[in-house]
Structure 1
Amino acid sequence: MKRYTKLGLILTIIVTCFYVTTASAQGHYNVLKYGAKNDSSKLATESIKKAIAAASKAGGGTVYFPAGKYLTGPIHLKSNITIYIEAGAEIHFSDNFDHYLPMVKSRWEGTDVMNFSPLFYAINAENIAIKGRGLIDGHGKKWWAYSEVHVKKIPTSRWQEEFKRLNKDVLAPDLPGWIERGFLRPPFIQTMDCKNVLIEGITITNSPFWTINPQYCDNVTISKVTINNPDSPNSDGINPESCRNVHISDCHISTGDDCITIKSGKDRSGRKANVPAENYTITNCTMLSGHGGVVIGSEMSAGVRRVTISNCVFDGTDRGLRIKSARGRGGVVEDIRVNNVIMRNIRDQAIVLDLQYATTTVEPVSERTPAFRNIHFSNITAHGNRAGYLNGLEEMPIENVSFNNMNMDMQTGFRIKNSKDIEFHNVRVNNKKGPVVEAENVVGLQIDDVRSQKPVAGEAIIELTNVEGAIIQNAFPAKGTEVYLKAKGAKTSDIVGKANHFGNVKTVVIQEADVKEKIKLD
């Protein structure tokens, strides 16, 4: 036994030496050894910069923050650098605006600008990471005071003057907005033109502006991150913009704005850069407070394509899944799939596709005209206010959208306007007022096994206004249904039924006088 005990001790020593040697070989650079203090008694900006420079000189390595509290200004990453924040370590960013000068190349709400340095920043780097079980705190409250939410006009300051000086030729958005304010808060984490970006495990709070904001990057992974930005303006959680091959998983997000958003530039600036957002997967995430759970747009001028969203829970967001744009943006959102999502306590709409996010007037189709098409929702359970809202443009209808296998307990049902080729299959909406599906100015509508288990007195299940071409099939309305279909509008035509069972319906069809064709549902 003594022999085995000695042997075990020898093996333990060998293994320990191996790990120590491996750690050394990999290049771990403890910021304390470069002069940082973990009691927040000293600004650590220069010490962290020295640790990163040493790691970079060696070809790369891990800049290590052991437990404790660190006070710092911006941290700029270089290629092959990992920032590792140990459990128990907290990085607190200064709220002294001067610490974020000189201004750097950045992007703000989809427009390329020179601006305050983001708190974590990288440009033209590859193989970079921010990971660990520690906390980073942006101390954004002082920055929030300069948001347009809090003040109508930003006071003139030397920071504002510097911003104006550096952005004389900025390609401003088509619609009025931030350029009139002239004072922009920095994102928390922004990587520009980078490859192979990993953000993993950390907890983030109090972001000055958008929280995780990769720009023009390829191969981005954001995993197991917790974001908590309560009651803070424009503090979106994760905003990958104009990136390729983005993977977001296992995150927990609560913000004062959208939780996860996908963007690709705003108006002329976005169209000029012409870098779309493509190949995104979002899975296994929970979203609590926020304007939207997962949102695409409204800055999507270079287009968004090939996105999958699955296995997520939204609880308490204003909206669930939202795609938004407006005339002037341009760009196409296409090939989007949403599957296996549960939503509760949704204050507005569970699903929104809105091409009239801003008030504009009809104009000829051009590069300024946005488009939504090929978007599909399936296996969704929701509880809240409105089930869904689709609002296309008269000159550019929303096209090819389907809803499959959905169970929803809502105040109101779906409202569809200015759309084409819309399908409902096996959709249950227990709404308290209005129709289950209300469609207006729609071409090509398929209603397949759509019902309410709690029909609303005096309301039709389906209401059509100026709908051209609709098939209603496999209807089996619940007992107490007074009207199944109400039709109106001079354009309403070619409405047919198939394999329906209306034994529980008092009146199957009510059509107004302006509907020229006689509607008869089998």
Structure 2
Amino acid sequence: MLLLLCLPQLTYAQQYYNVLKYGARNDSTKLATDAIRKAIAAASKAGGGTVYFPAGKYRTGPIHLKSNITIDIEAGAVLYFSDNFDDYLPMVPTRYEGTDITSFSPLFYAYKAENITIKGRGIIDGQGKKWWDFAEGKSRASQDSKWQQEFFRLNQNILKPDLPGVIERGFMRPPFIQPMYCKNVRIEGITIRNSPFWTVNPEFCDNVTITGVTINNPKSPNTDGINPESCRNVHISDCHISVGDDCITIKSGKDRSGRQQNVPAENYTITNCTMLSGHGGVVIGSEMSGGVKKIAISNCIFDGTDRGIRIKTARGRGGVVEDIRVDNVVMKNIREQMIVLDMQYANTPAEPVSERTPRFRNIHFSNITAEGNQAGLLNGLEEMPIENVTFSNLNIDSKQGFTIKEARNIAFHNVQVNPQIGPAVRAQNVRQLWLDGLRSTMPSAATPPVELTNAEDAFIYNCFPATGTDTFLKLKGAKTRNIVLQNNNFKRVKLPVAQDAEVTERVVGP
């Protein structure tokens, strides 16, 4: 007789490594750096595990993660990172504003690791003020501190940006969380505050998830929120961000260094986030020399940022920003522009097209409600206009409308812009412009809703100007030609079209 034994399936739970058992103190009386390092080493030796911080206050230097390690910071636990600069030596390979260097260790750092996580309901505090003050020159007497000397010793042959800047100072503040060349990175649930520099800054990583994270940095220099740079397959969701610089920024290296690495930022989704204080809500660039492509931004609220969506670059960067979608976004109390595509972030003269020339193309905005100073600015290059941008189903209350320069193939569909001063749309040196159902409920007797200067191939249709509009369309510039109006209702308008003397071609249509 054959006896069959049915055994329960065995399951293996990941081991927990409590940092208190490795010598850490949760009353902030002792630096926990060594204890945390020992706990990570023990977990790594076992093939992976969770390094656990129970409630309490901890002081620590940098934490270096290895593969298959989870950092779990319990609710009630607060990690205060040391502001002693010596604790972040020896210097490690890192990236600073798109330039590859060797510098201070990030506060959380991983290099060529896989399956790493930082999670929990606790708080991590970067105690950034001392870093900010030193970087701004408020607490240093000279440019030759021992840290700067070490930086210069280790970075003699780096590719610097085209224009002089912070690299020449030799004091690069560390990012708060910077995994480099890692796979399967997850940051979940934690609250982060007082970052010395950029807060969450994955570099050259694949499959990054950042979800449910709260970031609070006060007014401070360059303390961006989430900056994934030259990464693939990035998912940012359900985050709440209020910082001293941009809230979320997508980058891919700067100038020659970025072009040499040539690693784009691609396949990013950003959804269900709120952004409060910050220079920009979601920003692409200006360090985008490796290219940025296939980005989807949706279901976000920007309230009180300087700008909403901002894409910026300059001559010398090179790289292409393309295939960007922004949908279902609310912007309120925007102090500058709601939407910016600016290729002249640094004002430089025109030059022949080369690897230094950046490109913006295939960028689309839809279903946006916005209120603030200026509806939008599109500012291309004479030698490389912005290409193929659409605006669909927008409702904007603003002090100023859209300004578009050096662009082609630009379309507005069912867009309402209510500027207090100036036109709803002002375009200069633009080719292939579609205005379909453009509306403005705040007409001005002195200002037409649409003003075109040196515009070619414009098609304006399905418009019904509001009562009080004296002139609907103003044409200027000797290069203005092939302007077509069709299916518009001008019965409330005194003069549908006004042309300056230099505009010689007659407008087609009523």
TM-score normalised to structure 1 length: 0.95
Q: Residue 240 of structure 1: which of 228, 245, 259 is its match?
A: 228
Q: Which residue of 2 aligns with 1:136?
A: 124
**1:371 and 2:359 correspond:** yes
Q: Which residue of 2 aligns with 1:172?
A: 160
Q: 1:157 to 1:393 in 2, by over 3 A?
A: same
Question: How far off its partner does 1:178 sit?
Answer: 1.3
Q: Which residue of 1 aligns with 2:191?
A: 203
The question of whether the paired residues in 2 share the 8 Å contact of 1:492 and 1:515 is answered with yes
In structure 1, C-alpha distance between the alignment counterparts of 2:296 and 2:343, rounded to whole Å: 21
Question: How far off its partner does 1:150 sit?
Answer: 5.7
Q: How does 1:250-265 map to 2 (within 5 A)?
A: 250-265=238-253
Q: Residue 231 of structure 1: which of 206, 219, 222 is its match?
A: 219
Question: How far off its partner does 1:513 sit?
Answer: 0.7
The question of whether the paired residues in 2 share the 8 Å contact of 1:391 and 1:417 is answered with yes
In structure 1, C-alpha distance between the alignment counterparts of 2:139 and 2:54, rounded to whole Å: 40
Q: 1:80 to 1:180 in 2, by over 3 A?
A: same
In structure 2, C-alpha distance between the alignment counterparts of 1:392 and 1:152, rounded to whole Å: 40
Q: 1:363 to 1:387 in 2, by over 3 A?
A: same
Q: Which residue of 1 aligns with 2:401?
A: 413
> Can you list the C-alpha shifts for 1:270-289, whole angstroms capped at 9, x where unaligned?
00001000000000000000
Question: How far off its partner does 1:483 sit?
Answer: 1.0
Q: Which residue of 2 aligns with 1:10?
A: none
Q: Which residue of 2 aligns with 1:116?
A: 104
**One-letter code aligned to 2:189:** G
Q: Which residue of 1 aligns with 2:465?
A: 477
**1:95 and 2:73 correspond:** no
The question of whether the paired residues in 2 share the 8 Å contact of 1:500 and 1:521 is answered with no
Question: How far off its partner does 1:520 sit?
Answer: 4.3
**One-letter code aligned to 1:293:** G
In structure 1, C-alpha distance between the alignment counterparts of 2:179 and 2:350, rounded to whole Å: 37
Q: 1:150 to 1:247 in 2, by over 3 A?
A: farther
Tell me the secondary structure at the aligned position of residue 41 of structure 2. helix
> Can you list the C-alpha shifts for 1:477-510, whole angstroms capped at 9, x where unaligned?
1111111000010110000011100011111100
In structure 1, C-alpha distance between the alignment counterparts of 2:77 and 2:465, rounded to whole Å: 59
**1:448 and 2:436 correspond:** yes
Question: How far off its partner does 1:155 sit?
Answer: 3.2
The question of whether the paired residues in 2 share the 8 Å contact of 1:154 and 1:181 is answered with no
In structure 1, C-alpha distance between the alignment counterparts of 2:271 and 2:435, rounded to whole Å: 29
In structure 2, C-alpha distance between the alignment counterparts of 1:514 and 1:161, rounded to whole Å: 62
In structure 2, C-alpha distance between the alignment counterparts of 1:169 and 1:358, rounded to whole Å: 25
Give the unaligned 5+ runs of structure 2: 1-7
In structure 1, C-alpha distance between the alignment counterparts of 2:198 and 2:442, rounded to whole Å: 42
Question: How far off its partner does 1:153 sit?
Answer: 8.9
Q: Which residue of 2 aligns with 1:41?
A: 29
Tell me the secondary structure at the aligned position of residue 440 of structure 1. strand
**1:503 and 2:474 correspond:** no
**One-letter code aligned to 1:216:** F
Q: Which residue of 2 aligns with 1:387?
A: 375
The question of whether the paired residues in 2 share the 8 Å contact of 1:34 and 1:51 is answered with yes
> Can you list the C-alpha shifts for 1:288-326, whole angstroms capped at 9, x where unaligned?
000000000000001000000000000000000000000
Q: How does 1:3-152 map to 2 (within 5 A)?
A: 25-148=13-136
Stretches of 4+ aligned residues off by more than 6 angstroms: none
Question: How far off its partner does 1:472 sit?
Answer: 0.2
> Can you list the C-alpha shifts for 1:409-435, whole angstroms capped at 9, x where unaligned?
000000000000000000001110000
> Can you list the C-alpha shifts for 1:22-58, whole angstroms capped at 9, x where unaligned?
7x84110000000000000000000000000000000
Q: Residue 278 of structure 1: which of 243, 263, 266 is its match?
A: 266
Tell me the secondary structure at the aligned position of residue 134 of structure 2. coil
The question of whether the paired residues in 2 share the 8 Å contact of 1:511 and 1:519 is answered with no
In structure 1, C-alpha distance between the alignment counterparts of 2:312 and 2:445, rounded to whole Å: 33
**One-letter code aligned to 2:465:** P
Q: 1:378 to 1:153 in 2, by over 3 A?
A: farther
Q: Which residue of 2 aligns with 1:424?
A: 412
Question: How far off its partner does 1:147 sit?
Answer: 2.7
Q: 1:442 to 1:154 in 2, by over 3 A?
A: farther
**One-letter code aligned to 1:304:** V
In structure 1, C-alpha distance between the alignment counterparts of 2:318 and 2:310, rounded to whole Å: 17
Q: Which residue of 1 aligns with 2:208?
A: 220
In structure 2, C-alpha distance between the alignment counterparts of 1:149 and 1:356, rounded to whole Å: 29
Q: Which residue of 1 aligns with 2:481?
A: 493
Q: Which residue of 2 aligns with 1:293?
A: 281
Q: 1:309 to 1:152 in 2, by over 3 A?
A: farther
The question of whether the paired residues in 1 share the 8 Å contact of 2:269 and 2:296 is answered with yes
**One-letter code aligned to 1:438:** R
The question of whether the paired residues in 2 share the 8 Å contact of 1:479 and 1:504 is answered with yes
The question of whether the paired residues in 2 share the 8 Å contact of 1:254 and 1:290 is answered with yes
The question of whether the paired residues in 1 share the 8 Å contact of 2:482 and 2:508 is answered with no
Tell me the secondary structure at the aligned position of residue 505 of structure 1. coil
Q: Which residue of 2 aligns with 1:356?
A: 344
**One-letter code aligned to 1:395:** E
Give the unaligned 5+ runs of structure 1: 1-17
In structure 2, C-alpha distance between the alignment counterparts of 1:335 and 1:273, rounded to whole Å: 21
- Pick which of 224-233 and 174-183 moved more: 174-183
Question: How far off its partner does 1:350 sit?
Answer: 0.1
Question: How far off its partner does 1:180 sit?
Answer: 1.9
**1:346 and 2:334 correspond:** yes
**1:400 and 2:388 correspond:** yes
Tell me the secondary structure at the aligned position of residue 326 of structure 1. coil
Query: How many residue pairs are counted as aligned between the two chains?
Result: 502
In structure 2, C-alpha distance between the alignment counterparts of 1:188 and 1:158, rounded to whole Å: 22
**One-letter code aligned to 1:465:** T
Q: CA RMSD in A?
A: 1.4
Tell me the secondary structure at the aligned position of residue 437 of structure 2. strand
Q: Which residue of 2 aligns with 1:6?
A: none
